[in-house]
Structure 1
């Protein structure tokens, strides 16, 4: 055993281990990985405390410090999830430090295993698992930087992504070489006895799928090895069945439909004893833990990496060309989908990524670019892979994957939130609110998820025009979140402003008008004072900068028009601008869209009546979008062509475009060009493909480094890539 420790810590040089020492080391490592996978699943079930306790508990600690690698990564993944859910500066900093440590440990560990030739996988070269942990830590660290929506941080993140990219390429080369060498039979888990599940043939001998070679007679009779192998096998079996974190079997909670009614109907289905089971892919107990970690990790990391690279805004495209690589969104999405088939943290993160991509608050795949599934170009790539049309609109497949996660993690508000988001993205807004109301948010262990739940509920209430309750939710976030207090305050004020305007228009009870007026005035104009107090990574967030510019704009109009009431200086309803940023128009019901259209077009005050050109531009842009969503596509397009685009571009006689650079509402200008492409698509379909691309290219060329440029730039690029595909 001293030789094992010496070899692994480097104190005795890269000594080779004898087979019995190797077997013990391999099984101990598989046990460590199972502990880490269990800990990370506790987080997916809203028990981060239990997960961290498991990683740090005395019974789980490895015998030497070098074996901490996978546990440090697991801790980094837990902190990464907390950081990206809450964006609190202290958690972001902590996660970055842990992931940096995991990178260093992984590089060192991989080198040690390579020197010793310690092969822990039946498929992959020595140290491959630590190449995966390195790439994973590197990728997650880079994503933390990208999520800041800062152009500078995004540029820095690219160089970190490059490290991950090259390591993943190296792993893929190793995997392809192994495939070539061993042949397809090895990958089909065919005749080789080392691929059998753990089987205790009698009381004195055993085999283990986790040991990548045939065991000697002595090893087969070693009781300590047998107990360790049985322990690893049982941990894996319970994990694959979803019974490893204290919950009853997942199949008891598996539904076929979304929504709170389907939840209420569950007991009836149980009584009827319908044969509901998890898929066979979810219960493959005959796969070694390390092999599973490697291939699910590579699928997830390389998939996410390619999707992220394909979404990088054009403003930092120059950096991308220097770095020398790019991503294929379709291939990336296929790999992430593949990772979701594994019942481990990689599958969980993969599914969360897909849900954010398809049904998240920003929706990179705009539902209005509904590329028809019948297009000749949309064909299956292989029997196991998804065709392009399914990648664009996964529909029931994504829903089923989410319902499976809801069954596996019944205590998790995170997955409940994802279900509410999916309902919202399908226009089932009231059902989304009802689902979020079905749990006590104060009981959610992860405060980041609690904050997200309240914020998402507020957004959904805004889309439903339930502005007062939305404002109350937004203001409650001041006691939960560390950052963005100015934005929450401004947004709540905008909600009260809309109620004030509805009272003025006779759409609400007039007796409460003074209350709404006072709340709107106080919150909107006090919001900038909070910027110095709560910042993200010592900077104001893009939406905070947007808010600051808007309030300064209102004050300017008040001064120019010599208005006594500051609310009269607010032109286009600011809550409708914010609704656009959170994809509200694509989610509203017909009645909600009609009300939005009415509020945008029929409300009057001195600033609106002054018909200031920039205010008119924003109002006409938003009005054209409600017209399109209400089916008046040509009417909306005409409004955009007549009242918006001439302020942004002029067409030259030679066919070239001259951009009129404006700064008053910088988000609106590339957005208008993007939306013009969408109008062409809705009016002409595939016949308008080239014209759509032309408008999107113009949108991309207009873009500058303004607040929200990262978000809008990604939306434009996603559309271009989709149409080119």
Structure 2
């Protein structure tokens, strides 16, 4: 009967409204408590979230364990995180099926919020799985990542359709409005079937994994921002952009050694799009926005802070955001996050990274050494590691030693590396004591150094990644075994069988020269002097300095220092004369430094990049474009050569720098093809630039191009006279400001 059906419909609508109201309240409460995570209060967040019973509360609980696992890399915590994430995914799937019975929002199909929860759980589970020691778990993680990718791609595609419908209708109203066109567009999206959410995301994600791999995302890039006001829609929009942005960014950073694995599964990264989506998410004042901001700062301050090839300040444009840090935006984002989460030590660490990348290492060390301690031991561990590496770069050996030993107390990620680095610091203190004639101090420091160095290999191998030993621990083992063999063969103690500074060798791996100030670089050149070695004169001259591999290790570290000082010709000469002259065979073997040759090839590419960004001052304006293009070609050739290298120790670390460099080269090549850029290439600044730029790290330093002291630098003083002129950067680089609207291909 009509009246019966009408009453039934009203009851159904009432139930749907009640369910929607309960969902909204649960979401808002879960977001409120989860935000405590970003304020260093994991315990408070977990305790509060346990009082809720929704999928959103379950996701929040999972986030607390996920943050512990990725910041601390502790096996037990990672196992607990995996378990909770699996439970969260199952719960969200059940809630999604129930939500299908009621209408969706004006923007998204019914149940999309639970699809997002599933995708977030899958994404976090994939990250934890890759960090797990099992290769099987790692491969399962790639499949989880694929499922999350498909779900998120479907959500973003829904947004794209909405924006397209708006554009066709000419409506600029916000997503939360009730305009006819907006409602019709939403109905059209949802009306592609009652299964719209299912067919575009869930069904695809749950399909047979043997189907053809993903060629590219189905969603499209759009610069237009959805203006959403509904709390659930804001959660979906900010969360989808955050998660999808992370996936696209991470996949674009995969080094060559791993890209083949991901290609089989069908992943495709897009750095520019990923960064753009993360910035969209970061604009929202919720935990999704905070997580997106954390990833952006980690990307710019951490990963890009460790690369050498970055956009020059004179070339920087909006498209460069994917390959170089937008300083003003990063500073503003950091200030906003510190205001929203004032008790978090994490933002203090990020501020210290900003300072370090701006060559203000002393200020960074001061910031990391002061202030209240974090309530999260994982953030404390991150703070201590950052402090230890900064101490190595300013060559404060006591602080470096003590802080790496402190890392052993708060984190178990790589005890072998912590012992090794503490030993390297003690070795430098031993060399300082010998140089000062302090016999008692030298004896103590020597024993200290040898004990720490020997401890490294003893504790190596306990932590594994994808069933493989950590590359850094393989590196440590090879180094110490090699030195022990040399000590035995030469009849000297372990500490006296070591060549050029191993502490500064590791600084190169962390791209210390880019962060070092003028005084730090000058001190680094002195600390690389062969005269600091404590081996007897006959061993030093006849053994160490005649060993091609030992000299090549020195050359890579020295070249990085010289390049950072602006002495490009000297940097290039050191590599060519002391590394590239050797046959590959001498770097191969059980305990050989096999990373040196590919790293030196990469270093030559970096030198050409710096030259490309700084044309000679006396070069005619009309010749600047050809000069820069030639240097860019040389840079790319060296990077591609290094990229194609066979497997070697630390290839993932160097490979990521190579991959990032190639992305930056591609960006500049596109920019140089623009007519407006070509017209402006000849313009030069009236005075040479003298300030440091975080975007590049390389500016003119006219007062610093001094000849390298042969007693401090070359393997053979009689042969190491510096090249005339020293390859100094003399300013006069083409300052370019692309005309607005004319910087596209």
TM-score bracket for the superposition, by shorter chain length: 0.7 to 0.9
Give the C-alpha shift of residue 520 in structure 1: 0.6
Deviations 1:126-185 (A, max 9, x none): 111112111211122222244569988765543322211111122222233344456564
Structural mapping, 1:91-106, within 5 Å: 91-106=77-92
Q: Is the 8 Å Cα contact of residues 311 and 320 (structure 2) preserved in structure 1?
A: no
Residues in 1 aligned to 2:115 and 2:583: alpha-carbon distance in whole angstroms: 49
Q: Which of 50, 55, 73 is equivalent to 1:56?
A: 50
Is contact 1:416-1:436 (8 Å) kept?
A: yes
Q: Offset of 1:625 from its aligned partner?
A: 0.8
Paired residues of 1:585 and 1:629 also in contact (CA < 8 A): yes
What's the offset of the Cα at 1:101? Answer: 2.1
How far, CA to CA, are the matches of 1:486 and 1:430 in structure 2?
Answer: 27
Contact 1:70 1:133 survives alignment (8 Å):
yes
- Which moved further from structure 2: 421-430 or 68-77? 68-77
Q: Deviations over 1:353-376 (max 9, x none)?
A: 11121111x43662543345547x
Question: Does the C-alpha gap of structure 1 residues 357 and 440 become closer, same or farther in structure 2, counting only changes over 3 Å?
Answer: same
Figure out how many residues of one structure are paired with residues of the other and give that number. Answer: 595
Matched, 1:175 2:159: yes
Q: Which of 112, 126, 138 pairs up with 2:98? A: 112
- For the Cα contact (< 8 Å) 2:457–2:477, is it kept in 1? yes
Does the 8 Å CA contact 1:364/1:718 hold for their aligned counterparts?
no
**1:636 maps to what in 2?**
571
Match of 1:410 in 2: 342
Output the CA distance in 2 between the equivalents of 1:85 and 1:47: 14
Aligned with 2:66 (options 77, 80, 85): 80
Quick one: structure 1 residues 391 and 539, their matched pair in 2 at CA, closer, same or farther if it must change by over 3 Å?
closer
Cα distance in 2 for residues equivalent to 1:44 and 1:98: 19
- How far apart are residue 694 of structure 1 and its match? 0.7
SS in 2 for 1:158: helix
Structure 1 alignment gaps of length 5 or more: 1-14, 63-67, 196-211, 214-280, 379-385, 650-657
Q: Is the 8 A contact 1:89 1:537 kept in 2?
A: no
Match of 1:21 in 2: 15
> What pairs with 1:286-685 in structure 2 (closer than 5 Å)?
287-360=229-302, 362-363=303-304, 366-371=307-312, 373-374=314-315, 386-388=318-320, 392-441=324-373, 444-506=374-436, 512-531=441-460, 540-563=469-492, 565-602=493-530, 603-606=532-535, 608-609=540-541, 610=543, 611=545, 612-647=547-582, 664-685=592-613
Secondary structure of the equivalent of 1:623? Answer: helix
Moved more, 15-24 or 671-680: 15-24
Report the CA distance between 1:672 and its aligned residue: 1.3
TM-align CA RMSD: 3.1
1:691 aligns with 2:623: no
Deviations 1:49-100 (A, max 9, x none): 110111112xxx23xxxxx322221112221111111111111121122222
Q: C-alpha distance in 1, partners of 2:132/2:560?
A: 29
1:391 Cα deviation after fit: 5.5
Structure 1 pair 473–623 and aligned structure 2 pair: CA distance change class (3 A):
same
Partners of 1:476 and 1:430 lie apart in 2 by 20
Deviations 1:444-476 (A, max 9, x none): 211111111112111111111111122112112
1:210-249 pair list within 5 angstroms: none
Q: Is the 8 A contact 2:430 2:446 kept in 1?
A: yes
Give yes or no for contact 1:110–1:127 (8 Å, CA) kept in 2. Answer: yes
Contact 2:133/2:464 (8 A) holds in 1: no
Q: How does 1:694-705 map to 2 (within 5 A)?
A: 694-704=637-647
Residues 648, 579 of structure 1: CA spacing in aligned structure 2 closer, same or farther, 3 A cutoff? farther
Shift in CA distance, 632/534, structure 1 to aligned 2, threshold 3 Å: same
1:346: Cα distance to partner?
A: 1.5
2:159 & 2:106 partners in 1: Cα distance? 11
Task: Sort the Cα spacing of 1:190 and 1:552 in 2 relative to 1 into closer, same or farther, 3 A.
Answer: closer
Alpha-carbon separation, structure 2, partners of 1:17 and 1:87: 51
The SS at the match of 1:352 is: helix
Q: Is the 8 A contact 1:73 1:137 kept in 2?
A: yes
Q: CA–CA distance in 1 between the matches of 2:646 and 2:593?
A: 12
Q: Which moved more, 1:471-480 or 1:584-593?
A: 471-480
CA deviations over 1:401-456 (Å, ceiling 9, x no partner) = 00111111111111111111111111111111211222243xx2111111111121
Aligned partners of 2:424 and 2:453 also within 8 Å: yes
Gaps of 5+ in 2: 1-8, 188-223, 614-627, 668-745
SS of 1:482's equivalent in the other structure is coil
- Deviation string, structure 1 residues 568-592 (Cα, Å, up to 9, x no partner): 1112221112212222111111111
TM-score (norm 1): 0.76
Please give the secondary structure, in 2, of the residue aligned with 1:326.
coil
